[in-house]
C-alpha cells in the first residue's frame, strides 16, 4: 500500500447476500471466535472444539443462570502467533481476498461492492482487523494514490486497483493488484503493467540483506523506467519517461503499523533480517486515465528477500486474465449490490497517508 497512509485455490465464490442466513458461521462469529471456512470436515471439527472449549468451564463448575440453565463461560481467546507466523497468516488472508476480487469483479459493480467482497473474505479467513482502510479505485480514480471513495462504477476498458491489508494478532499485511475490469488488459495497459512487474521482480531479486537499502532498490527501478522505450503523456502534452509518473517510494517495512514506524526502519539503511517489507512499483498517468501498481509482501532472509504473497495470488497479466476468465464461465451477468460489514481499522493506521513521496 502506498503511503497516505492458503493457497489461491482455498476460497470459493463469496455468497452475494444482503443479509446472511443464520448458521454455524454466524454463531461462531457471534461468540467472538475466529471465523474460518466451515466447508470441510476439519473446519467443522474446529467448530466442535470451539463449542467444547466455550461450554466446558461452565459445565464443570455447575454454573447456572437465573432460570437454572447452565451458563456458558467466556469464549476462549485464540493463542497469539509468533511474529513471522502472524505476518504470513495476515498475508494469506489478504491474498485470499485479492483472489476473490479477481473472481467476482464485474462491470457494473461499484468500488463499494468490491470492498464488501474483501470485508467478507477477511472475516471468513480470520482477520482480526484492517491494517488500513481499503483502497479500491477504478477508472480515473486509479491515478489517485490516496483515493478512498466507494461510488466509482467498474466499466469495461478500465483498470481496477485494489490495495488492501488484513491484520493477524495485530501484525500488518499490505498487497496491491491491478486488474482489467473487462477481464483482458488492453495492449497499452499490458505494456505499462508489464514494466511495473518487471521492476518489482528485478528489485526484489537483486536486493541483498545487510547490503542494499530500499533507497537502492528505488534507484534501480528509476533506472529501469528511464531505460525503457515506453513513454507517458504529461499534462503539457509532452512524452516523458515513466519515472516521471512514479512519484512514490518503492516500499516500506511493516510491523503493527502498516508502514513499520514501530520497527525503527530507515529508508537508506541496509535491509534488516527477519523484517517484513513491501515492494510496490507503479505509475500514474493522469492524462491517459491510467494508474496501476503491483505490490507484494516480502520477508527479509539471511541473504535476500522471500516473497510471501507471490505464490498465493497471481500477479502476471496472463495469470490474472486466466483467473478472471475461469470465474466468468457460466457466471450471471447481473450484478447484485453488496452490503459492507467492515472490520475495525488498526488504530496505528488512523489519519496516515498510505503512499510516501520519494523524497522527504
284-306 per-position pLDDT tens digit? 999 999 999 999 999 999 999 99
Q: How far apart are CA 111 and CA 150, in angstroms?
A: 5
Give the gyration radius of the chain's Cα atoms.
Answer: 22
pLDDT tens across 94-121, in order? Answer: 999 999 999 999 999 999 999 999 999 9
* Burial category of 228 from C-beta neighbours within 10 Å (exposed 0-12, middle 13-18, buried 19 and up): middle
- 143-183 tens-digit pLDDT: 998 899 999 999 999 999 999 999 999 999 999 999 999 99
50-102: pLDDT as tens digits: 433 443 333 333 333 334 444 444 445 556 679 999 999 999 999 999 999 99
Minimal CA–CA distance to 294: which of 188, 166, 202, 168? 202
Give the separation between CA 136 and CA 178, rounded to whole angstroms. 10
pLDDT of residue 345: 80
Written as nine digits, the cell of 219 is 534507484
Mean pLDDT within 272-276: 96
Whether 192 has a pLDDT exceeding 70, the answer reads yes
Segments of the chain assigned E as strands:
129-130, 135-138, 159-164, 166-168, 171-172, 175-180, 231-233, 239-241, 253-254, 276-279, 282-285, 290-293, 296-300, 305-307
* Cα 78 from Cα 99, distance rounded (Å): 26
* Mean pLDDT of the region 326-349: 70
Separation CA 186–CA 211 (nearest Å): 39
Query: Half-sphere exposure of 184 toward its Cβ, with a 13 Å CA cutoff?
Result: 3
Round to whole Å and give the CA distance between 205 and 203: 6
Domain 83-349 - what CATH class? alpha beta
Amino acid at each position: 500500500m502506498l503511503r497516505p497512509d492458503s493457497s489461491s485455490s482455498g476460497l470459493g465464490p463469496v455468497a452475494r447476500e444482503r443479509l446472511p442466513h443464520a448458521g454455524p458461521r454466524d454463531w461462531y462469529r457471534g461468540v467472538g471466535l475466529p471465523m474460518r471456512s466451515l466447508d470441510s470436515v476439519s473446519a467443522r471439527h474446529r467448530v466442535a472444539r470451539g463449542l467444547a472449549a466455550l461450554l466446558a468451564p461452565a459445565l464443570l463448575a455447575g454454573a447456572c443462570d437465573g432460570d437454572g440453565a447452565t451458563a456458558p463461560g467466556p469464549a476462549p481467546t485464540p493463542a497469539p502467533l509468533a511474529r513471522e507466523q502472524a505476518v504470513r497468516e495476515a498475508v494469506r488472508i489478504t491474498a485470499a481476498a485479492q483472489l476473490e476480487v479477481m473472481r467476482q469483479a464485474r462491470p457494473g459493480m461499484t468500488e463499494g461492492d468490491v470492498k464488501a467482497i474483501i470485508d467478507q473474505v477477511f472475516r471468513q479467513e480470520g482477520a482480526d482487523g484492517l491494517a488500513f482502510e481499503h483502497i479500491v479505485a477504478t477508472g480515473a480514480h486509479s491515478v489517485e494514490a490516496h483515493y478512498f471513495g466507494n461510488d466509482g462504477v467498474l466499466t469495461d476498458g478500465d483498470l481496477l486497483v485494489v490495495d488492501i491489508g488484513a491484520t493477524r494478532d495485530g501484525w500488518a499485511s499490505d498487497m496491491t493488484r491491478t486488474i482489467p475490469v473487462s477481464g483482458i488488459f488492453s495492449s497499452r495497459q499490458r505494456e505499462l503493467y508489464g514494466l511495473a512487474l518487471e521492476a518489482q521482480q528485478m528489485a526484489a531479486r537483486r536486493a541483498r540483506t545487510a547490503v542494499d537499502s530500499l533507497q537502492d532498490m528505488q534507484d534501480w527501478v528509476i533506472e529501469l523506467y528511464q531505460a525503457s522505450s515506453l513513454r507517458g503523456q504529461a499534462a503539457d502534452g509532452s512524452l516523458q519517461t515513466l519515472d516521471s509518473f512514479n512519484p512514490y517510494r518503492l516500499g516500506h517495512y511493516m510491523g503493527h503499523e502498516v508502514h513499520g514506524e514501530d520497527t525503527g526502519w530507515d529508508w537508506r539503511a541496509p535491509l534488516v533480517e527477519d523484517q517484513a517489507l513491501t515492494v510496490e512499483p507503479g505509475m500514474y498517468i493522469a492524462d491517459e486515465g491510467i494508474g496501476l501498481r503491483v505490490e507484494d509482501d516480502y520477508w527479509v532472509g539471511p541473504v535476500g528477500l522471500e516473497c510471501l504473497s507471490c505464490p498465493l495470488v497471481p500477479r502476471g497479466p496472463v495469470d490474472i486474465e486466466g483467473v478472471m476468465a475461469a470465474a466468468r464461465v457460466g457466471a450471471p451477468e447481473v450484478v447484485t449490490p453488496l452490503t459492507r460489514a467492515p472490520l475495525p481499522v488498526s488504530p496505528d493506521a488512523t489519519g496516515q497517508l498510505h503512499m510516501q513521496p520519494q523524497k522527504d
